[in-house]
Amino acid sequence: MSSQPPLPDWRDTLPWPGPETHKHQRGRLGVVSGRAYQTGAARLAARAGLRIGAGVVRILCPPDAVAVIAPAIEAVMLTPFGAVEALIEATEGMDAVVIGPAAGITDGTRANVRALAATGAALVVDADALTVFEGWPQDLFDVLDRDDVLTPHEGEFKRLFPGLLDKGRETAAREAAKRVGCIVLLKGPQTLIAAPDGRLAANDNGTPWLATAGSGDVLAGMIGGLMAQRMDSFDATRAAAWMHAEAARGFGPGLIAEDLPERLPAVLSALYDQRSKGL
């Protein structure tokens, strides 16, 4: 008789709403978009954050992107910003912010990361917001804290932590998290999640269907959506990685990134049913 794999231990900390819960209690998530021709990644992340339960999700974008984004969103809100000061004002009261998906490898992105780090919101730093610090990684590390999450694939990891992967992926992930002082999710065939206190988790349900453009943007939004609901950053990152893969597995061949948020209700429903049955 084959045994079932153990149920993930982060299930007990998932933030389910109660009868009196309203949208602001479910958390407020911001997602920073790139310019007008680089908005798809932020829209994917925002939709994923909304699907995974954040009560209010807002895309923060340069003024030239408003006309592109506005017709493509519904429940997700939209706020343009021109300067760093306007970005800080737009994120007031937000619980978590995702920055990086197609944000642009520019001085502006670097300045935006530094500004957001001072707001008190938990950050998910992904994609361009990682690459833009190549050559100056300590400038990024110095502004982050233990509630923040870095989500590099191996190429981005090498840019921030040159030579560290030569020690092996598990050692590299652990040392990176300790060095930066926050959660590090190292993507790959086996995604690793490391905390600065030495904890390390390996995602156990990876699937090759996730090898498609935009899937990482969805994952960043999912992590941000759980963190916006005040889920512990390490648990939120582990949970998002597992649900991300589970959504892809449920869809199978032909998956594109846009499909992933729409698969999340089925994944969440299964987890909720297990909770209700005391499993």
Closest CA to 54 of 184, 185, 223, 215: 223
- Residue 5's pLDDT is 56
Backbone angles phi, psi at 155, to 5 degrees: -65, -45
pLDDT 10s digits, 37-61: 999 999 999 999 999 999 999 999 9
Q: What is the DSSP string of 64-86?
A: GGHHHHGGG-SSSEEEE-SSHHH
> In this predicted model, what pLDDT tens digit does every residue of 105-126 receive, in sequence order?
999 999 999 999 999 999 999 9
Is the pLDDT at 24 greater than 70? The verdict is: yes
- Helices 40-51, 215-228: axis angle to 10 degrees equals 40
Q: Domain 25-136+204-276 falls in which CATH fold? A: UDP-N-acetylmuramoyl-L-alanine:D-glutamate ligase (3.40.1190)
Domain ranges of the chain: 25-136+204-276
Q: What is the largest CA-CA distance in the chain?
A: 62
- pLDDT tens profile 53-88: 999 999 999 999 999 999 999 999 999 999 999 999
Cα 31 from chain centre: 10
